[in-house]
Structure 1
Amino acid sequence: MRTTTKLTAAAAVAAAAAIALSACSAPSDSKDDGDKDSPLIVAASPTPHGDILKFVKDNLAEKEGLKLEVKEFNDYILPNTATENGEVGANFFQHKPYLDEFNKKHKTHIVPVVNVQIEPLGLYTKKGKKLSDLGPGSSIALPNDVSNEGRALKLLADNGLIVLKDGIGSDATLKDIKDKKGIEFTELEAPQIPARLKDVDAAVINGNFAIGAKLKPATDALALEKGEGNPYANFLAVKEGKEDDPRVKKLAKLLNTPEVKKFIEDKYEGAVIPAFGAPTS
């Protein structure tokens, strides 16, 4: 018996339209022309990515001679399509497994530039449940994009809620579950999950959306990913060929400064973890 709940086609279309309309400051009226003296327009999720970029803009960019414009989006598709078509010069919101899948599916040419931070994925509830309360008959919502769903399933497996087939890790799909232990899964677009948390027993939520929903991963999560050795660092990304844009190089340098490290640690108190350096190939 299939225990996965999918959005209907009509609902999916409606949700996509709503997300498109909800994108903050969508750059339909501006375009990054690539001029080294023009502002670098960067697409970002509002929290924490937009917050980090605004910190750089307000505190570090002027001294480096960088003009920076931040365009915020509430979804995971528009920032990449805007980067591909040149509406923005860069984006900051995603990790490598997600980007690899996106490029493959959409035939885009986005590449990572520099790692900045990790947002640990967490399992949350609004029903006062403990991790040990979840079992047969429980409902858990998962992000439905390939990379984050696999990551979510691994989190559940690491905490004994399900059993994955041998040799399966963060690339897991629902078909790779060896034993669901009676749990029912609902797949949703990642940005929708916090609003639907009350409708399920628990949900796996991406760190940025958890923060945006006033959840505190360090204290509210029933289970939380470990930061050490985590392959899901979020990075600054550009369209292939734009890596040597002087503005991009300046921003990459600024995003890996001690000032940004301190800002992340002070503001997010473990909900977001600095993860500087070159992205994995």
Structure 2
Amino acid sequence: MTALTRRTLFASGAGLAAVTLAACGARGGAAQGPEEENGVTEIAIGASPKPHAEILKFVQDNLAKDAGLNLKITQYTDYQIPNQALNDGDIDANFYQTPNFLKQQEEEKGYDFFAFEGVHIEPMGLYSNSLTSLEEVPDGAKVAIANDPANTGRGLGLLQSSGLITLKEGVDVAQATPADVAENPKNLTFTTLEAAQIARSLDDFALGAVNGNYALEAGFNPKEQALFLEPGENSPYANLVVCREADKDNAGLKKLDELLHSEEVKKFITETYTDGSVIPAF
């Protein structure tokens, strides 16, 4: 077992139930948005454990009280439940997804959501337990990419940027599938997995395209361990706070968005994630 594999054992498993940091959602599914009471607005918000919940906890511990907010943070370890919980009214907002993923979810499931401006970027990377550079990728190598459509396309786009494949001309990368690969000189074969599984399945593949939050949970250092990493500058994959469309003008949610774009949060991100895994988007 490699050191990289040992670190992946700490990653969250796919399909695990949400882990609650602070109980929320005792609302009976009533989608009514956060309300102020005695000068404090309580916001129930769902987030991926790393880095989203960590950033929210910083806000709760350092900024929320003075802003009249109280955050009830619930951690989710997959990419499907947080939007379902938001749609059902169990939470007021979530913080874990990128614009392309949100668009795919709205189109596929009919959600009526609103996204605030991006807070941070988590570059997706190509990782391996067996290779030390892309030059070592063998002919016929097996590559793992995420199985949700938004991240399937993102993973293929990453492989194209790395020079390993070329997609068909005119293909929208956000919607690309393995069928859209035009040139594949190394005859790579693609397997789609639930995104949370890829980091801990690297022993079965030559390469895996790992989302930034799952790389963090697995203990990867993107600057040192990614064989290829998305550029952070001008990335279209900034992570968003999302709420129901009906709540987009809620004063508490607007205040939370303001705090997440504060200089204090920018400093927290840059000083906490020095390995390039999380980059402010503002």
> Structure 1 length as normaliser, TM-score?
0.88
1:19-168 aligned at under 5 Å gives the runs 19-25=14-20, 30-31=26-27, 34-37=34-37, 38-168=41-171
Question: What letter is aligned with 1:98?
Answer: F
Cα deviation for residue 219 of structure 1 reads 1.4
Partner-residue secondary structure (3-state), 2:69: coil
Stretches of structure 2 that go unaligned for 5 or more consecutive residues are: 1-12
Tell me the CA shift for residue 169 of structure 1: 4.9
In structure 2, C-alpha distance between the alignment counterparts of 1:258 and 1:95, rounded to whole Å: 22
- Residue among 244, 248, 251 paired with 2:249: 244
Q: Counterpart in 1 of 2:218?
A: 213
Amino acid at match of 1:176: D
Q: Which runs of 5 or more residues in structure 1 are unaligned?
A: 1-17, 277-281
* Cα separation, 1, equivalents of 2:132 and 2:167: 23
| Letter in structure 2 aligned against 1:36 | E
Residues 65-89 of structure 1: per-residue CA shift (max 9 Å, x gap): 1111110000111111111111000
Q: Aligned equivalents of 2:184 and 2:150: distance in 1?
A: 19
Q: Distance in 1 between matches of 2:24 and 2:69?
A: 23
Query: For residues 267 and 52 of structure 2, what CA distance do their matches in structure 1 show?
Result: 15
Instruction: Return the match for 1:262 from 263, 267, 279.
Output: 267
Looking at structure 1, the residues matched to 136 and 52 of structure 2 have their Cα atoms a distance apart, in angstroms, of: 34
Aligned match of 1:6: none
Give secondary structure in 2 for the equivalent of 1:236. Answer: strand
CA deviation vs aligned residue, 1:157-189 (integer Å, no higher than 9, x gap): 111111211233522211110122211111001
Could you say what secondary structure the match of 2:117 adopts? strand
- In structure 2, the residue corresponding to 1:249 is in which secondary structure? helix
Secondary structure of the 1:98 match is helix
Measured against aligned partners, the alpha-carbon deviations of 1:233-277 in whole angstroms (never above 9, x if no partner) come to 11111011101112101100000001100111111112111013x
Q: Aligned pair in 2 of structure 1 residues 28, 251: CA closer, same or farther (>3 Å)?
A: closer
User: What letter corresponds to residue 183 of structure 2 in structure 1?
Assistant: D
Q: Indicate the residue corresponding to 1:3 in structure 2.
A: none
State the Cα RMSD in Å.
Answer: 1.7
Q: CA deviation at 1:231?
A: 0.7
Contact preservation (8 Å) 1:43, 1:91: yes
Q: Residue 229 of structure 2 corresponds to which residue in structure 1?
A: 224
Aligned partner letter, 2:255: K
Q: CA deviation at 1:19?
A: 4.3
The alignment status of 1:177 with 2:181, answered yes or no, reads yes
Aligned match of 1:273? 279
Whether the aligned pair in 1 keeps the contact of 2:131 and 2:137 (CA below 8 Å) is no
Deviation track 1:26-85 (CA, whole Å, cap 9, x = no partner) reads: 968623753223510000000010000000000110111111111000011111111111
Matched-pair contact (CA < 8 Å) for 1:134–1:161: no
Cα distance in 2 for residues equivalent to 1:155 and 1:54: 31
In structure 2, distance between residues paired with 1:28 and 1:19: 22
CA–CA distance in structure 2, aligned partners of residues 118 and 84 of structure 1: 24
**Counterpart-to-counterpart distance in 2, 1:142 and 1:20:** 17
Rounded Cα–Cα distance in structure 2 between residues aligned with 1:235 and 1:21: 23
**How far apart, CA to CA, are the structure 1 residues paired with 2:24 and 2:54?**
22
3-state DSSP of counterpart to 1:50: helix
| 2:202 pairs with one of 180, 187, 197 | 197
Give the Cα separation in 1 of the matches to 2:15 and 2:51.
20
Task: Say how many residue pairs are matched.
Answer: 259
